C-alpha cells in the first residue's frame, strides 16, 4: 500500500463537515489500520471546531466500504504472540474510534451508496443516522460469520439497540445483507434517495437534525440495554439456535458464538457489550473454521483478480450463441440472459429447442422472493433471447458454446458448421465433460480460438467453470474466456487438457472408492453418512444417483481407460444400469425416489442387485477410516494434477473442489485440509492402506513435500494476494 490518503475532510457549507472515503490505490474502500488512523485524525481535527454535523460518504459510485482489511487480520494471525489478546485489542481500537461518532457534539450521518459491509456497516451504525441510495448495488450487511468471525467494531452492540434484538440476530447470524427498502422498514436507515441526491439529502438532514435535535433522543435510547422480557428472550434464543443448527450442522461455530454474545450483551451497558463483543471475536479468531473460511475468501478474491493469461485486455463479448438446448444449453443461456447478454440458442430438434427456450425463460423469470414467475423479469430478459434450428444463424456471435450430446462425431460436425459461418476472430467453445479438447480441436482449421468452457450442473447454482486450454489454444482465447466467465459472476479455473479435466478427475477416485467400499460389504447409508459427516453436501452414492448411473458408467470408463492402475471399473454400476436403475431421473438408483414426494429412501431391491458383487459381508470400518478411504485417493490424484501442472497451483484445486462439487468450505479446500492435518500424518494414514492397491500409494510429489517439510500452500496465508 502506498502512503496516499484514503479519506479527505472538506466543508461543503459553513458548519457542515464532509468526510469523503476514496482509496486511490484500490477499487474498493477498505478499512485498514492506516485508514482508521486517518479517520481518527479527522475526528481530532473536528473536535475543536464549531460544526453542526458530519456526513461520511464515499466518492466511489456503488461502493461505500467493503469492510476491514482482511489481509491485515490474516497477517496478525500468522505473527507470533498472543492472537487472542491482539485480536481483542484490534476490536477495541475500532470500537474506540467509531464510538466517537455516537458522542460527538454534532450530528453524524452515514450517506451510503452501494456496498456497505462489515466494518463499513459498523462505522455507519455508530453514526446517528444512515441514509442510503436506491442504487441496485446498495446493500448493508455484517457478513463476518461467512469468514468464521463475528462483528468486532460494535456491530453486534449497536444493531440490536437500533433495530431490535431479533432482527439484529437474524442479520448477524445469517451474514446476509439487507437491501435499502428492507433497511428502511427495519428502522436501520432513515431515508432512501436517488444516488445523485444522496449527499445533498444528507446535508439537509444535518440541517434538520441540528435544529430539532431528535438524534439526541436516539443517542440516549441506543446507549441503553435492549428491553425484552425473559419469555421473549427465551423464545428468540430457542428459535435462533434451531435455525443455526439446521443450517450449519455444527460445522460453523461463528453464528453460535455471535448469538450467545448478542443474547447476553444486549442486556448490558455499551461498555460491557463492547468488551464482550471483542472477547467473542477473539474466541473465533484463528480457529480452524475461521482459517479455512478466510482461505476460501482469498481463493475467490484471487479468482476475481486473476486473468488466467497475460496479454492485452480481452474484448467484451456482446452476442453469444449456444448450440444444444438440453439441460446444460438452457442453463448456460439463462446464465447469460441474467447478465443482460444477448443469446441465440440453437438445437437440431425443434421440440428440444422449444423446451430449451421455455426452460431458459422459466429460469430467468423466476423470482426468489415470491417463488413464482415474475412478468417484469420475463419482459426484461425475453427480448435478449433468440432461437433457431440453423447453426448458420449464429454467424454474428462473438462466442458460441457447444452443448450438444456427448458424442465426438456430432460435436465435430457442429464445429465444422460453426467455423464456416462465424467470423475468424470469434471464439468457439465446448461444454464437454469428458472428451479431450485436443481431440475435438482436430476438426478445426483454427484451433487457437477454441477452448473448453465447462459449466457444472445445475448451472444456476454451481459457481465454478473450468476453462480448458488445448495445446493450440491461444493466450488471447483463454483470457477472453476467463473474462467472460467472470462477467457471468462465476469463478473460472484454467485447466490444461486431460481426462476429466480438474474436477471430474478428482471426483472419480472418490466416487469409485465408494463403490469399492460397497463391494467390501459397507452399507449404502454408512458410506454416504461418512462423507456427510466430513461435510460433503451429499454422499458419493447419492451423487451417483444425481449424476445418473449411465453417465457415471460412461465417464468412469473414460477415466479408467486413462488411468487403469488406479481407477477400477466397478461391475456394480453396469448391474444398476442393466436393472434400469439410472438414478433420480429413472426414479431409482442406489436409493428409490418413487414415494409421493420423490424423497430419497432405502430400497431392499438394491440389496439383491448388489449381492453377486459383494466380496465380503463384514462391516468393520469406522467412520474415520471410511473418510480416509474416500478422500485420500482424491488427495493423491490432486498431487498428480499438480505434478502434471494441469493447474497453476494448490489454490486452483481447492477453488475447483469447493465451487465445483461442494467440498466443505469450513475445511478450506482439500489441500488446505491436508496441510492443516500435516502431510507427514497423511503419509502415516496411507501406510495401512497399501494392500488396497496403487490408488493409495504415496506419490513422489507428496513424498517430496514431506521430505522438504513443505506444505501444498507453501506460503503462509498472509502471503496470498499481497
Residues numbered 691-710 forming contacts with ligand NAD, rule: CB under 6 A: none
Candidate segments 12-20, 291-299, 429-437, 477-485, binder of ligand NAD by CB under 6 A: 429-437
Q: Which of 252, 281, 259, 652 is nearest to 644 (CA)?
A: 652
Pair 641, 657: CB distance under 8 Å = no
3-state secondary structure of 66: coil
Q: Distance between CA 492 and CA 437 in Å, rounded?
A: 17
Task: At 273, list the grid cell.
Answer: 457489550
Pair 6, 37: CB distance under 8 Å = no
Q: What is the DSSP letter of 649?
A: S
Cβ-Cβ contacts under 8 Å for 260 (sequence gap 6 or more)? 280
Report the run of H or E that residue 401 belongs to, with start and end: strand 399-402
Q: Distance between CA 199 and CA 55 in Å, rounded?
A: 8
Given 454, 484, 544, 613, the catalytic residue = 454
Q: Residue from 319, 431, 480, 586 that binds ligand NAD (CB under 6 A)?
A: 431
Q: Which CB atom, from 67 or from 548, has the smaller least distance to ligand NAD?
A: 548
Q: Distance between CA 103 and CA 477 in Å, rounded?
A: 56
* Secondary structure string (H, E, C) spanning 509-549: HHHHHHHHHHHCCCCHHHHHHHHHHHCCCCCHHHHHHHHCH
Q: Which CB atom, from 95 or from 432, has the smaller least distance to ligand NAD?
A: 432
Q: Which of 655, 670, 637 is nearest to 720 (CA)?
A: 655
Q: Which of 77, 55, 388, 350 is nearest to 203 (CA)?
A: 55
The site that binds ligand NAD (CB under 6 A) totals a number of residues, namely 22
Candidate segments 156-164, 341-349, 420-428, 528-536, binder of ligand NAD by CB under 6 A: 341-349
Q: Which CB atom, from 406 or from 649, has the smaller least distance to ligand NAD?
A: 406
Which x/- pattern over 457-486 shows residues binding ligand NAD (rule: CB under 6 A)?
x-----------------------------
Q: Which CB atom, from 355 or from 533, has the smaller least distance to ligand NAD?
A: 355
Q: Please classify residue 578 by burial: count the beta carbons closer than 10 Å to its beta carbon, then call 0-12 exposed, 13-18 middle and 19+ buried.
A: exposed
Phi/psi at 438 (5° precision): -55, -40
Shortest Å distance, C-beta 546 to ligand NAD: 9
Shortest Å distance, C-beta 487 to ligand NAD: 20
Q: Which CB atom, from 168 or from 403, has the smaller least distance to ligand NAD?
A: 403
Residue sitting closest to ligand NAD (CB):
326
Q: Distance between CA 412 and CA 237 in Å, rounded?
A: 60
Candidate segments 216-224, 377-385, 431-439, 684-692, binder of ligand NAD by CB under 6 A: 431-439
Q: Which CB atom, from 431 or from 473, has the smaller least distance to ligand NAD?
A: 431
Cα 648 to Cα 297, 303, 668, 672, 700, distances in angstroms: 18, 12, 18, 15, 18
Q: Residue from 243, 327, 562, 683 that binds ligand NAD (CB under 6 A)?
A: 327
Q: Distance between CA 123 and CA 97 in Å, rounded?
A: 9
Candidate segments 95-103, 428-436, 487-495, 562-570, binder of ligand NAD by CB under 6 A: 428-436
Phi/psi at 572 (5° precision): -60, -40
Cα 675 to Cα 75, 252, 436, 515, 669, distances in angstroms: 18, 20, 31, 27, 10
Q: Which CB atom, from 296 or from 399, has the smaller least distance to ligand NAD?
A: 399
Shortest Å distance, C-beta 458 to ligand NAD: 8
Shortest Å distance, C-beta 11 to ligand NAD: 58
Shortest Å distance, C-beta 294 to ligand NAD: 30
Shortest Å distance, C-beta 461 to ligand NAD: 12
Q: Give Cα 287 distance to the centre of its chain.
A: 20
Candidate segments 36-44, 138-146, 196-204, 425-433, binder of ligand NAD by CB under 6 A: 425-433
Q: Which CB atom, from 332 or from 705, has the smaller least distance to ligand NAD?
A: 332
List the helix and strand counts (H, then E) for the chain: 30, 19
Q: Which CB atom, from 347 or from 637, has the smaller least distance to ligand NAD?
A: 347
Q: Residue from 112, 328, 485, 638 that binds ligand NAD (CB under 6 A)?
A: 328
Check residue 500 for interaction with ligand NAD (CB under 6 A).
Answer: no
Q: Residue from 195, 315, 326, 662 that binds ligand NAD (CB under 6 A)?
A: 326
Shortest Å distance, C-beta 123 to ligand NAD: 44
Shortest Å distance, C-beta 126 to ligand NAD: 48
Candidate segments 105-113, 294-302, 427-435, 575-583, binder of ligand NAD by CB under 6 A: 427-435
Q: Which CB atom, from 555 or from 646, has the smaller least distance to ligand NAD?
A: 555
For the chain, the distance separating the N- and C-terminal CA atoms, rounded to the nearest angstrom, is 10
Check residue 325 for interaction with ligand NAD (CB under 6 A).
Answer: yes
Shortest Å distance, C-beta 550 to ligand NAD: 11
Candidate segments 113-121, 133-141, 319-327, 527-535, binder of ligand NAD by CB under 6 A: 319-327
Candidate segments 290-298, 318-326, 559-567, 686-694, binder of ligand NAD by CB under 6 A: 318-326
Q: Distance between CA 566 and CA 560 in Å, rounded?
A: 8
Q: Distance between CA 328 and CA 317 in Å, rounded?
A: 20
Query: Cell 469447493 appears where?
Result: 658
Check residue 432 for interaction with ligand NAD (CB under 6 A).
Answer: yes
Pair 285, 149: CB distance under 8 Å = yes
Angle at which helix 503-519 crosses helix 549-562, to 10 degrees, equals: 100
Which x/- pattern over 390-419 shows residues binding ligand NAD (rule: CB under 6 A)?
-------------xxxx---x---x-----
How many other C-beta atoms lie within 10 A of the C-beta of residue 612? 9
Shortest Å distance, C-beta 452 to ligand NAD: 10
Report the run of H or E that residue 229 belongs to, with start and end: none
Shortest Å distance, C-beta 155 to ligand NAD: 41
Q: Which CB atom, from 327 or from 538, has the smaller least distance to ligand NAD?
A: 327
Residues numbered 347-366 forming contacts with ligand NAD, rule: CB under 6 A: 347-349, 352
Shortest Å distance, C-beta 494 to ligand NAD: 17
Q: Is 227 noted as a catalytic residue in this protein?
A: no
Phi/psi at 13 (5° precision): -145, 155
Q: Which CB atom, from 206 or from 404, has the smaller least distance to ligand NAD?
A: 404
Q: Which of 341, 332, 79, 53 is nearest to 213 (CA)?
A: 53
List the catalytic residues. 454
Q: Residue numbers of the site for ligand NAD (CB under 6 A)?
A: 323-329, 347-349, 352, 403-406, 410, 414, 431-433, 456-457
Amino acid at each position: 500500500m502506498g502512503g496516499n490518503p484514503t479519506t479527505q475532510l472538506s466543508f461543503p457549507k459553513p458548519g457542515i463537515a464532509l468526510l469523503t472515503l476514496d482509496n486511490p490505490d484500490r477499487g474498493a474502500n477498505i478499512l485498514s489500520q492506516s485508514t482508521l488512523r486517518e479517520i481518527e485524525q479527522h475526528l481530532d481535527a473536528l473536535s475543536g471546531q464549531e460544526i453542526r454535523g458530519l456526513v461520511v460518504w464515499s466518492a466511489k459510485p456503488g461502493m461505500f466500504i467493503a469492510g476491514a482489511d482482511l489481509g491485515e487480520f490474516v497477517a496478525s494471525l500468522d505473527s507470533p504472540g498472543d492472537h487472542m489478546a491482539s485480536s481483542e485489542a484490534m476490536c477495541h481500537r475500532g470500537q474506540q474510534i467509531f464510538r466517537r461518532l455516537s458522542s460527538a457534539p454534532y450530528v453524524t450521518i452515514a450517506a451510503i451508496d452501494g456496498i456497505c459491509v462489515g466494518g463499513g456497516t459498523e462505522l455507519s451504525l455508530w453514526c446517528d443516522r444512515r441514509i442510503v441510495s436506491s442504487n441496485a448495488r446498495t446493500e448493508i450487511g455484517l457478513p463476518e460469520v461467512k469468514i468464521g468471525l463475528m462483528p468486532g467494531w460494535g456491530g453486534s452492540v449497536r444493531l440490536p439497540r437500533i433495530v431490535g434484538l431479533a432482527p439484529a440476530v437474524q442479520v448477524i447470524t445469517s451474514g446476509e445483507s439487507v437491501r435499502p427498502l428492507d433497511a428502511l422498514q427495519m428502522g436501520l436507515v432513515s431515508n432512501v434517495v436517488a444516488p445523485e441526491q444522496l449527499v445533498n439529502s444528507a446535508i439537509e438532514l444535518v440541517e434538520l437534525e441540528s435544529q430539532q435535535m431528535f438524534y439526541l433522543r436516539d443517542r440516549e435510547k441506543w446507549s441503553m440495554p435492549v428491553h425484552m422480557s425473559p419469555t421473549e428472550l427465551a423464545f428468540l434464543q430457542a428459535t435462533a439456535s434451531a435455525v443455526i443448527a439446521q443450517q450449519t450442522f455444527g460445522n460453523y461455530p461463528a453464528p453460535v458464538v455471535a448469538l450467545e454474545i448478542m443474547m447476553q450483551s444486549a442486556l448490558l451497558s455499551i461498555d460491557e457489550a463492547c468488551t464482550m463483543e471483542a472477547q467473542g471475536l477473539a474466541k473465533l479468531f484463528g480457529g480452524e473454521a475461521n482459517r479455512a473460511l478466510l482461505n476460501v475468501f482469498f481463493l475467490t478474491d484471487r479468482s476475481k483478480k486473476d486473468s488466467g493469461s497475460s496479454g492485452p485486455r480481452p474484448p467484451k463479448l456482446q452476442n453469444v450463441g449456444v448450440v444444444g438446448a438440453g439441460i446444460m444449453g438452457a442453463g448456460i443461456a439463462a446464465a447469460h440472459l441474467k447478465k443482460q447478454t444477448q443469446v441465440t440458442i440453437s438445437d437440431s430438434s425443434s421440440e428440444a429447442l422449444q423446451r430449451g427456450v421455455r426452460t431458459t425463460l422459466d429460469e430467468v423469470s423466476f423470482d426468489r422472493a415470491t417463488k413464482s414467475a415474475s412478468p417484469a423479469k420475463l419482459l426484461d430478459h425475453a427480448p435478449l433471447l433468440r432461437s433457431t434450428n440453423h447453426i448458420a444463424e449464429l454467424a454474428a456471435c462473438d462466442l458460441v458454446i457447444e452443448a450438444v450430446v456427448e458424442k465426438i462425431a456430432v460435436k465435430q460436425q457442429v464445429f465444422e458448421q460453426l467455423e464456416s459461418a462465424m467470423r475468424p476472430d470469434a471464439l468457439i467453445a465446448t461444454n464437454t465433460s469428458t472428451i479431450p479438447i485436443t481431440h475435438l480441436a482436430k476438426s478445426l482449421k483454427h484451433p487457437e480460438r477454441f477452448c473448453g468452457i465447462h459449466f457444472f450442473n445445475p448451472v444456476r447454482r454451481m459457481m465454478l467453470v473450468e476453462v480448458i486450454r488445448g495445446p493450440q489454444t491461444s493466450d488471447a482465447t483463454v483470457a477472453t474466456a476467463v473474462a467472460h466467465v467472470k462477467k457471468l459472476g462465476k469463478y473460472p479455473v484454467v485447466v490444461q487438457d486431460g481426462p476429466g479435466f480438474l474436477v471430474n478427475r478428482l471426483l472419480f477416485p472418490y466416487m469409485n472408492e465408494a463403490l469399492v467400499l460397497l463391494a467390501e460389504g459397507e452399507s449404502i447409508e454408512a458410506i454416504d453418512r461418512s462423507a456427510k459427516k466430513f461435510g460433503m453436501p451429499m454422499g458419493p452414492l447419492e451423487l451417483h444417483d444425481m449424476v445418473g448411473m449411465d453417465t457415471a458408467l460412461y465417464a468412469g470408463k473414460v477415466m479408467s481407460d486413462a488411468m487403469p492402475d488406479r481407477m477400477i471399473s466397478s461391475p456394480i454400476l453396469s448391474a444398476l444400469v442393466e436393472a434400469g436403475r439410472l438414478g433420480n431421473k429413472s426414479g431409482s438408483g442406489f436409493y428409490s425416489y418413487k414415494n409421493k414426494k420423490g424423497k430419497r429412501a432405502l430400497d431392499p431391491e438394491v440389496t439383491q442387485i448388489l449381492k453377486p458383487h459383494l466380496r465380503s459381508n463384514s462391516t468393520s470400518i469406522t467412520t474415520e477410516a471410511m473418510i480416509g478411504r474416500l478422500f485420500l485417493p482424491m488427495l493423491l490424484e490432486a498431487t498428480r494434477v499438480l505434478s502434471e501442472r494441469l493447474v497453476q497451483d494448490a489454490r486452483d484445486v481447492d477453488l475447483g473442489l469447493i465451487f465445483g462439487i461442494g467440498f466443505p468450505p469450513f475445511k478450506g479446500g482439500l489441500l488446505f485440509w491436508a496441510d492443516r492435518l500435516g502431510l507427514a500424518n497423511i503419509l502415516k494414514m496411507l501406510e495401512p492402506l497399501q494392500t488396497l492397491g496403487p490408488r493409495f500409494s504415496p506419490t513422489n510429489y507428496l513424498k517430496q513435500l514431506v521430505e522438504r517439510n513443505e506444505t501444498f500452500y507453501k506460503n503462509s496465508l498472509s502471503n496470498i494476494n499481497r
